[in-house]
Structures are given as C-alpha cells and as structure tokens.
Amino acid sequence: MCLLLTRTKSILRMRFICWLLLVPVFAIGQRQEFFHPQMGTLFQIIVPTADSNFARQATNLAFARIDSLNQIFSDYQENSEISRLSKTAGTDAWVKVSPDMWRLLRIAQKISRQSNGAFDITIGALTKVWRKAFRQSQFPTNAEIAKAKHTVDYRSLRMNGLSHKVKLLLPDTRLDAGGIAKGYAVDAAMKVLRKAGIRSALVAGGGDVRVSNPPPDKAAWIIATKGADATGQIVDLEKNLNNRAISTSGDTYRFLEWEGIRYSHIIDPRSGMGIQHRQFTRVSGPRSTLADALATAANVLPIAERDKLAKKFPKYLIEVY
C-alpha cells in the first residue's frame, strides 16, 4: 500500500515509508529523539541520554548544519550553490566551489568512474524530464529524453584540484545531488554531534542511517529493515550496527506506471530511462555519503557489473532484494 504514495503526500506519511525501510527498533530507557524535515524527507536523531537540554542543543546544531547543506545541494532552489553552478554549464567558466560542494563532487565523481557512469551527478536534465512525467502521469517523449541525455556525462564535469574550481563543459547540464546529498548530510550531522561530545547517536535521513557507538548498556543499535529470504520473499529483518552507515535505494514512492510498466525515479544515464526492475538496494559501510551513492549506482547496474563495483569498495556490503 505504501508503495503507491506520491511525493506530495504529507511528511508524516513519508516518515512512515522511511521507517518501513530502516527503523531503530528498541526502546532505550533514557533517550532523546528529534525530527527535522529537510531535503524532501524527515531527518531523525536519537541520543541515548537523560540530559534532554544538552541533547536538544547539540541536535539543533546538527539540524542547522543539514539546513545549510540544503542551501548548497538543493536543485529545487534557484539560488542554491548547485543551481548557480548548473547555470554556468557550457559557458567555459571555472567556478570556485564551497568546501562541501568540492567534497561531495569528489565522491560523486569517484563513484561515477567506478560504476562506469551508472551513478552520474550530471543527470539533472533527465531527472527534470522524469519529475515532470511523474507529476503529470504522462510518459516523456523520445525527443525530451534524447535532448536531456545529451547533457548528461560525468566526464564533462571538470575539477581543478589546486583552485577547487569546477567547470561544466556541456551546455544545459544540470547537476542533481539527490542520489548522494542525504548521505552527505547524515555524515555531516554525525560529525556535529561528535564535536559536541556525543559518542553514541543515530542519525537518519530517509533511507540513509548512520549510528556511532552503541547506547550505554547495549551491545548495538538494532535497525529494522527488509530483505529477501531463501525463497525470494521480502521479509522483516533486524540488523545490529555500531559505528556504521546503512543506505537503502529503491522505487519506494516515486515512480511512473505507464502501459503496465513501472519506471523508477532512479534513472539509467545510459538509456535515459527510469529503471524498470523493481528492487531495493541496501549498502552498509563506514560512511553514509558513499553508502548513499553506491546504493543508487548499484540499483542501476546489472548483477555482473554490480559485483565488479562491490569488489572496488571492500569496506561496503551491497545487498539487493
């Protein structure tokens, strides 16, 4: 049922969907829990402490950091750094970028190279076409897809390591950090909490979750998620996690059903089409940024290529169900 919800439904329902994917499941005696809507999802922070004032102050700082990252990475905002950068595409301009933009682009480009372009942050013109298709429940035309596809190529995003300047070679390229920015925000929020002295916490942003040390008197954080059993049936699972990130990617609630075929909001940059295989990809490893991007990439790739990608990131476990 929840798979049929659209992006426009209330934040509470979105929260329900996210929790179906990844939920911290055990009650801690003394724990503080906070929520914050941002980046089209609901961020959640849990701090196992009795000191609610301290936890609230630290969490507010972490949420403020997420807000500031949204100002940088949101392609829905005309004035965000990413939108301003996209506007320079094809103009021959080298643009100095912020440290956060630099770090995110470096990681995005690494995943693009290692996945042979299955992950591509220059996908924005295609996501725009598909977002319109979802909104209007109307399949995009071949011409729309072909035109947008011409602007997508991570190799046309050039980065100068000395000046931290970036250039977009192709006209009309639009950057879209939707496949990696939430993971980056989760990592950044965790860093803020750690700086405030919090060694045990959970930070979640939709399908991206990261935990640090276990709560006092517990061996681990327990995350409820889904997976396939031996017969391929989707079943509930619990994962014990410490100092680890876990990201899920799949066509939870954003897709277009057209002539009996379901097209996901995750796009294969090589065909320009929303992927049609219905699956979830879950990636766990040390950092949310990489787990988020790898989960999106792994969702696009066929099995053999996915296995090759997995071998390049031995600290990350890629599961598909």
Binding site for ligand AMP (CB under 6 A): 119-121, 123, 127, 176, 178-179, 249, 265-267, 269, 292, 295-296, 300
Q: Which is nearer to Mg ion, 151 or 296 (CB)?
A: 296
Q: In the complex, which residues of this chain contact Mg ion (CB under 5 A)?
A: 179, 249, 292, 295-296
Q: Which is nearer to ligand AMP, 132 or 199 (CB)?
A: 132
- Tell me the closest approach of the beta carbon of residue 41 to Mg ion, in angstroms: 12
Separation of alpha carbons 218 and 287, rounded Å: 22
Which of ligand AMP, Mg ion, none binds 300 (CB below 5-8 Å, type-dependent)?
ligand AMP
With residue 200 as reference, give the H or E element that holds it: none
Supply the DSSP symbol for 7: T
Q: Which is nearer to Mg ion, 168 or 295 (CB)?
A: 295
Supply the DSSP symbol for 269: T
Q: Are 180 and 201 in contact (CB under 8 A)?
A: no
Main-chain phi, psi angles of 152, to 5 degrees: -105, 115
Separation of alpha carbons 109 and 282, rounded Å: 20
Which of ligand AMP, Mg ion, none binds 320 (CB below 5-8 Å, type-dependent)?
none
Sheet holding 280-285, edge to edge: 32-38, 41-47, 202-205, 208-211, 244-250, 280-285, 317-320
Report the candidate in 239, 226, 193, 184 with the shortest Cα–Cα distance to residue 212. Answer: 193
Cα atoms found within 13 Å of the Cα of residue 157, Cβ hemisphere only? 30
- Tell me the closest approach of the beta carbon of residue 300 to ligand AMP, in angstroms: 5
Which of Mg ion, ligand AMP, none binds 120 (CB below 5-8 Å, type-dependent)?
ligand AMP
Task: Give the nearest residue (CB) to ligand AMP.
Answer: 178
Tokens 């994917």 -> residue: 21
- Tell me the closest approach of the beta carbon of residue 133 to ligand AMP, in angstroms: 13
- Tell me the closest approach of the beta carbon of residue 293 to Mg ion, in angstroms: 6
Which of Mg ion, ligand AMP, none binds 266 (CB below 5-8 Å, type-dependent)?
ligand AMP
Which of Mg ion, ligand AMP, none binds 319 (CB below 5-8 Å, type-dependent)?
none
